[in-house]
Amino acid sequence: MVKIYLGPAGIPHSSKKKNTIEGIRTVKELGLNAMEVEFVQGVRMSRETAEETGQVAKELGVRLSVHAPYFINLCSEEKDKIEASKQRILDTADRAELMGADAIAIHIAFYGKMSPEECYQNVKEGLAEVIDKAKEMGIKNVKFGVETMAKETAFGTLDEVISISKELKGVIPYIDWAHTFARQGGEIDYGKIIDRLIKELGLTHINSHFESLVSRKGKYVDEHIPIDANAPPFEPLAKELLKRDISITLICESPELERDALKMKEVLERLGYRLE
């Protein structure tokens, strides 16, 4: 039977205090059971706060994941930027481990002047170094999630993230359903993707984002909007999940964080599923 963890990307707008711990408490009050901690502008949480955050989440039964900073590019032409990127990933993983999060989402690279094949090798080598260093640091439980990306200039096609997850232990696809929808020209077969992740990688848990994207001149672009736009639609994904014995985290990245997360919850309830 499917197990679903659903919640917002970051502190809910309705949280009275704008800090991560209060955000987790608000998530619980809303009847949701997951939250992604956002380090997109930098890892500014102390190690002590990360431990406290993890304790609160565990007590309340809220599953945590973490988003790494946007300023990461393992295919940069500048070596210092690559090294800084590796350190940002490690800092994210360190805090994630302390708070008991299961995975981090990473926007891993841009192709730049490299071919996709050259960039793939750079990502593979750089990420392998990060994983080795993470082991030395005592990071044991956090998965390194390479996110699927909407922009054609970015590393992150579905095939790329699945392939690199096969090659590197500890790496998983972090599926952004809307990004994948855009990258595939406004088409998505949820069931086929889920089955690939199960069959090819043996995944028992999927980490993912959900939102809708703006369409301009017949093409979907990486600009997040409320899920009312149905670009892509959520209900078909919900139906495919309910057919399978899989666990999944669905993080709502809509600008309407908790409103749309609760709309997703309503769809699941209408289809007969109740969040635990």
| Domain parsing of the chain, residue ranges | 1-269
User: Count of H helices and E strands in the chain?
Assistant: 9, 10
CB 161 within 8 A of CB 146: yes
- Looking at domain 1-269, its CATH architecture is Alpha-Beta Barrel (3.20)
Beta bridge partners of 210: 252
Count of beta carbons in the 10 Å neighbourhood of residue 69: 20
Strand order across the 143-147 sheet: 3-8, 247-252, 205-210, 171-176, 143-147, 103-106, 63-67, 34-38
Number of neighbours of residue 191 by Cβ within 10 angstroms:
15
Amino acid 1: pLDDT: 86
Distance, CA of 87 to chain centre = 19
| Per-residue tokens: 60 | 């309340």
Is 199 within 8 Å of 164 (Cβ atoms)?
Answer: no
Which pLDDT score, from 0 to 100, does residue 218 have?
A: 86
Q: What is the pLDDT of residue 117?
A: 98
In the prediction, which pLDDT does 236 show?
A: 98
* Phi, psi (deg, nearest 5) at residue 86: -60, -40
Asked if residues 76 and 119 have their Cβ atoms less than 8 Å apart, the reply is no
Residue 263: the pLDDT is 98
Per-residue confidence of the chain (276 residues) as pLDDT tens digits?
899 999 999 999 999 999 999 999 999 999 999 999 999 999 999 999 999 999 999 999 999 999 999 999 999 999 999 999 999 999 999 999 999 999 999 999 999 999 999 999 999 999 999 999 999 999 999 999 999 999 999 999 999 999 999 999 999 999 999 999 999 999 999 999 999 999 999 999 999 999 999 999 889 999 999 999 999 999 999 999 999 999 999 999 999 999 999 999 999 999 999 998
Q: Measure the N-to-C terminal CA separation of the chain; round to a whole number of Å.
A: 13
